Amino acid sequence: MPNSNHRWNQDFPKIGIRPAIDGRRKGIRESLEEQTMNMAKAVAALLSETFKYPNGEPVECVIADTCIGGVAEAAAAANKFSKSGVGVSITVTPCWCYGTETMDMDPSTPKAIWGFNGTERPGAVYLAAVLSGHAQKGIPAFGIYGEDVQDSGTTDIPQDVQEKLIRFSKAGLAAAYMKGKSYLAIGSVSMGIAGSIVNEELFQNYLGMRNEYVDMSELVRRIEEEIFDPEEYQLALNWVKENCSEGPDNNPAAIQTTRERKDQDWETVVKMSLIVRDLMIGNPRLADLEFGEEALGHNAILSGFQGQRHWTDHFPNGDFMEAILNTSFDWNGKRAPYLVATENDSLNGVAMLFGNLLTNTAQIFADVRTYWSPDAVKRVTGHILSGAAKDGILHLINSGPAALDGTGEQSRDGQPAMKPYWEITDEEMNKCLKATSWRPASLEYFRGGGYSSDFLTKGGMPVTMSRINLVKGLGPVLQLAEGYTVDLPEDVHKTLDDRTDPTWPTTWFAPILTGEGSFTDVYSVMDNWGSNHGSISYGHIGADLITLAAILRIPVSMHNVAKEQVFRPRVWSNFGTSDPEGADFRACSSFGPLYK
């Protein structure tokens, strides 16, 4: 069993709080010190109580030692933040301050400024002035200004201000956590899928990540030379035998494999799971076995496995490995998911990473496979779609890699959900396992055998489907669609599912329609989706994704988020206010990648 602390052996980024103040002494500054510092303390308390790191511990905030009235104190705060591992900056003030003297000048740190809406001192004036400075210097910052006037000295944070502080901080922490980590490509391009052509400019310039590469033959070497923890392997294999139910073999009788071969496949796919995890994050146990280099791993928070076809034509497929690593539990119990992109689709992997960092939950990887119109469903099954599905549905399905959390067998307030691992109960974990059948792989697709996870996602979950696309001359573009998972009558599901591949997991998805653009109808969502894959995250997190994309300077080409919830740096409005989508593209192009 791996050391539980090993995965989190690097410090998490902290949120730095900068209390800015009018620097004039002999009366003005002194009268503001307590209120200004109390604002910083209130923000720190709010964020520490709201957020948790991927390991379940509360987010840490660091407050500058003094209020910042000028450049010397700004430099002292920057020095403290650098030593403390601050990755996100929030400036707060109730008053006028000297804008360019007090501002945070670090160009790669996500930053926001809360200017207090009060009548006694002009916090709003400072906010406008310093945001102008940020725009002029090309260092975008998010502006936060409450709608209602507050009384001087209050420590309350208005609800609208809280929402913006939380939205910015959530996205800022996600950006900061990616910085310095790796994407590990195991193999190369799968079946000509463009997303598995790993684009280093995306990872390095936009995400601050490095790229690592391992040939799939490394799995063969580690299997044959037994470069894995033998004790954990036995634990894992026993757990799989007890908890992973093997489903019926759908292959024609003439090509079905023997029981002996199926058992060998189970052994191989369990070893693959251990090995890919160790490749990503390392495993100190390997050093005890005299594999010191292998023990280190690649510092990867995200990986991709090519699989098809150079691996799957000969070896068992990666479906079990991908499914169990992406899930919030395994033979060692509940733990944070290890993100692995099927077919090495690094672009969909990035969407999975965004969703995971914003929610601390597992992500569903799927093909955006089929649009079923109400008329088509009625023609094939006789069923009339209703409820959230009344305008049509998308069949999200792929060859078995979806996280078991995607069954919807976890719950929150009596409704199906996908939760951070520390909230999942043992009963919910067991329900996810029981709702999943491991089907012998379709040998026409996977000549080397293996197993695919088969489950049906419960309806009623709010979810967000997202995807990063790369466009020559433009760069990365984000698209997203909020909606709901839906239930179909069992016979209707079976009829539709059997037309594709009943050995794979299915999620029926109904996007929320706006009646405009890409969300005119469900067909338009499917027709405007940029690639064959999508990442599905629990919750309506579209607004958070938009804020994260703005931090990274990735424009959003398609979304159905209400305009009131869209939160971007203030300078975006200088690129036009009547066409926010176009302004987003222009701003991202003008400022360029965060880490250029």
- Annotated binding residue 242: no
The answer for residues whose C-beta is within 8 angstroms of residue 195's C-beta and 6 or more apart is 343, 344, 345, 346, 347, 348, 531, 533
Helices (H), 244-345: 259-281, 284-288, 319-326
Neighbours of 577 (CB within 10 A): 9
Q: Which long-range contacts (CB under 8 A, 24 or more apart) does 231-236 make?
A: 231/1, 232/1, 232/2, 232/274, 232/285, 232/331, 232/332, 233/270, 233/271, 233/274, 235/1, 235/331, 235/332, 236/270, 236/273, 236/274, 236/330, 236/331
d(CA 58, CA 49): 7
Q: Which of 141, 120, 116, 98 is CA-nearest to residue 38?
A: 116
C-alpha pair distances (Å), 29 with each of 34, 36, 68: 10, 10, 10
Strands (E), 315-430: 329-330, 333-334, 339-342, 364-372, 393-397, 410-412, 415-417
Residues 6+ apart with CB under 8 A from 344: 185, 186, 187, 188, 189, 190, 193, 195, 196, 198, 304, 305, 306, 307
Does 314 appear as a known binding residue? no
- 8 Å CB contact between 166 and 61: no
Phi and psi of 297, rounded to 5°?
Answer: 70, -170
Stretch (H or E) spanning 354: helix 346-359
Is 343 annotated in the active site?
A: yes
* Those residues with Cβ within 8 angstroms of residue 125's Cβ, 6 or more apart along the chain or in another chain: 96, 115
Helix (H) or strand (E) holding 131: helix 123-137
Q: Peptide bond before 259: cis, by omega within 30 degrees of 0?
A: no
The verdict on whether 367 is a catalytic residue reads yes
State the catalytic residue, choosing from 60, 232, 345, 367.
367
Q: Exposed/middle/buried for 579, CB within 10 Å: 0-12, 13-18, 19+? A: exposed
Phi, psi of 355 (to 5 degrees): -60, -40
- Local structure of 458: helix, strand or coil: coil
Q: How many CA atoms lie within 13 A of 458 on its CB side?
A: 19
Catalytic residue among 232, 319, 343, 409: 343
C-alpha span between 421 and 361 (Å, rounded)? 7
Residue 310 among known ligand-binding residues: no
The closest of 357, 445, 354, 456 to 402, measured between CA atoms, is 456
Tokens of 557: 């080409």
Catalytic residues: 343, 367
Q: Binding site: residue ranges?
A: 343, 367, 533
Q: Binding site for Mn(2+): residue ranges?
A: 343, 367, 533
